[in-house]
Structure 1
Amino acid sequence: MTSDRRNLYFYYHPHEELNEKLKPIFQLAEENNFKIVDDSKNANIIIAVGGDGTFLQAVRKTGFRQDCLYVGIKKENEAGLYCDFDIEHYNEMVDSMINAEVEVRRFPVIETTINNESTFLCLNECSVRSTLIKTIDIDVFIDDIHFETFRGDGLIVATPTGSTGYNKSVNGAVVDPKIPCFQVSELASLNNNRFRTLGSSFILGSERTLKLHVQQNGNDFPIVGMDNEAYSIRNIRELTVQMSQNVIKTVRLKNNSYWERVKRTFL
């Protein structure tokens, strides 16, 4: 780890047991000339302690920083596709960072613009679903060409790393994060003579633009999920999804590839 990356910010949800486990990590970091800061704006390494959900929150709460590295530390029994390190083996983490046994990987990010007004970044996925006990109707456009009219519970637009999350639970494909793309998957589509969809997930390249026009037929308050946070925004008419120029730079062990983590998690 280079000498200019020495300011650490720890993002976690405090409780007594976790606080005790973190004390020796703080001490070991300081003994090795790392500085622990209280404000993420002063950090150049942001460490999320928890599972993948905590990692996603850390990235979002700290503003998808482009000038720092993100590190994931998992607790026991936590999913860890974003987390290369284990809190019980913190010595290995510090040693790896000091001895350059880690690599920097870059995860693709998508950006979602709602009603041509507010833009949000997503590391995992963006989803749109009905808040009512009824279907939602969405006109799907790819590069301004009408592709299909969807009726069902909703749609998921996932990044490659997000393909192992919500997307996978609806039988979407698991995608290599080295491929800059995003995937669209259906939630309980209704196919008949009036509404006809592809009926399977499809993957769009990084140069594509996806537009989702929400038909105003009573579903004016759909839930839009951004990673693991939900937003209820009044009168959503259109969502535009594209690949972002931003990436999330994370630290991984050299001997711990994405597909090795997928295998450990699911197989």
Structure 2
Amino acid sequence: MSERKNIYLYYNNREELEHKLTHLINTAKKYDFTVVDHVMDANIIISVGSDGTFLQAVRKSGFRQDCLYVGVSTKDRLGMYCDFHIDDVTEMIEAMKLDKIEVRKYPVIQVNINQQGSFYCLNEFSIRSGIIKTFVMDVYIDDISFETFRGDGMLIATPTGSTAYNKSVNGAIVDPLLPCLQVSELASLNNNQYRTLGSSFILSGHRKLSLKVVQTGNDYPTMGMDNEALSIRHVEKIDIQLSDRIIKTVKLKDNSFWEKVKRIFL
């Protein structure tokens, strides 16, 4: 950590955090860190807020591979991505200075829509009907037909995203040491014409999932990438797989993924 000295702070509302941000900046400078004004000049990006703020920090900075991300919570408790609290910044800076932290690596989803460009997600990618009507998608795994889905939509989550939207639709919580995708249905319709697996399933990180939207007038679905919406007309095919990109975050040595799961849910 000693060679990483340039810090960029990402936050949403400076006025509410003015005093605490000033304390964070002064503490960082006390320990010989430099706070920079441009994200590309940083090798440590600190999000101050919530898990949602962390997701935005990663997205707005371009899913960088050459830096560390740090989540600092301003809420009553820590989150899945926030290992530190704004009231304990001295502990965080000391840990970074004295190498009392470990680097955690999180996989990233790569989404290609209509073979026209890639998007990235740290938590999940979701696709839902854009109108009050079910829609139909043909599901392929490694370009081999798997099932035809009809319903409200589908959710594809990373292991870290498995504790978020995925959990609310009865998906499994997956250890982030397993590079994989989890696919969950949203209100699927099963009858004599349409038949789906009816449960979440997990794909190896080496596999590709493809969704082909059946063009029945509902080809303008609502798509979500983490906590942001994506608006694209005439969606025909979506290819989803794990990216080669890895998001590196820091954690205290006594704060594992499963300790966080226990703290938040149990």
Measure how far apart 1:154 and its partner are.
Answer: 0.2
| Separation of aligned partners in 2, 1:183 and 1:26 | 39
Task: Give, in whole Å, the separation in 1 of the partners of 2:209 and 2:125.
Answer: 12
Please report the TM-score for the alignment, with normalisation by the length of structure 1: 0.98
Write the mapping of 1:102-251 to structure 2, written as runs, cut at 5 A: 102-251=101-250
Which piece of structure 1 moves more, 167-176 or 10-19? 10-19
CA 204–255 in structure 1, closer or farther in 2 if over 3 Å, else same:
same
Q: Is the 8 A contact 2:105 2:249 kept in 1?
A: yes
Contact preservation (8 Å) 2:78, 2:84: no
* Preserved CA contact (<8 Å) 1:48 1:73: yes
Per the TM alignment, residue 228 of structure 1 is displaced from its structure 2 partner at its CA by 0.6
Runs of 4+ in 1 over 4 A off after TM superposition: none
Corresponding pairs, count: 266
**Structure 1 residue 77, shift from structure 2 partner:** 2.9
2:188 is paired with a residue whose SS is coil
SS of 1:153's equivalent in the other structure is: strand
In 2, are the aligned partners of 1:50 and 1:78 still within 8 Å (CA)?
no
Distance of 1:232 and 1:179 partners within structure 2: 31
Return the offset for 1:78. Answer: 5.6
Cα distance in structure 2, aligned partners of 1:119 and 1:205:
20
Per the TM alignment, residue 163 of structure 1 is displaced from its structure 2 partner at its CA by: 0.4
Which residue in 1 is equivalent to 2:52? 53
Amino acid at match of 2:103: V
The alpha-carbon deviation at position 79 of structure 1 amounts to 5.5
1:137-167 superposed Cα distances (whole Å, 9 cap, x missing partner): 1100001111111111100000000000111
State the secondary structure of the residue aligned to 1:234.
coil
Q: Which residue of 1 aligns with 2:9?
A: 10
Give the corresponding residue for 1:41.
Answer: 40
Q: Which moved more, 1:65-74 or 1:217-226?
A: 217-226
* TM-score, with length taken from structure 2: 0.98
Q: SS of 2:170's equivalent?
A: coil
The answer on whether the counterparts of 1:152 and 1:190 sit within 8 Å (CA) in structure 2 is yes
Aligned to 1:98: 97
Backbone CA RMSD of aligned residues: 0.9
Q: Could you say what secondary structure the match of 2:13 adopts?
A: coil
Distance 1:228 1:77 in 2: 21
Unaligned 5+ runs, structure 2: none
Which letter maps to 1:253? L
Q: How far does residue 17 in structure 1 lie from its aligned partner after superposition?
A: 2.8
What is the distance in 2 between the residues matched to 1:76 and 1:63? 25
Deviates most, 19-28 or 73-82: 73-82
State whether structure 2 residue 263 is matched by structure 1 residue 259: no
Question: How high is the sequence identity, in percent, across the aligned residues?
Answer: 60
Amino acid at match of 1:67: D
Q: Is the CA contact (8 Å cut-off) linking 1:170 and 1:185 kept in structure 2? A: yes
Which residue pairs with 1:73 in the alignment?
72
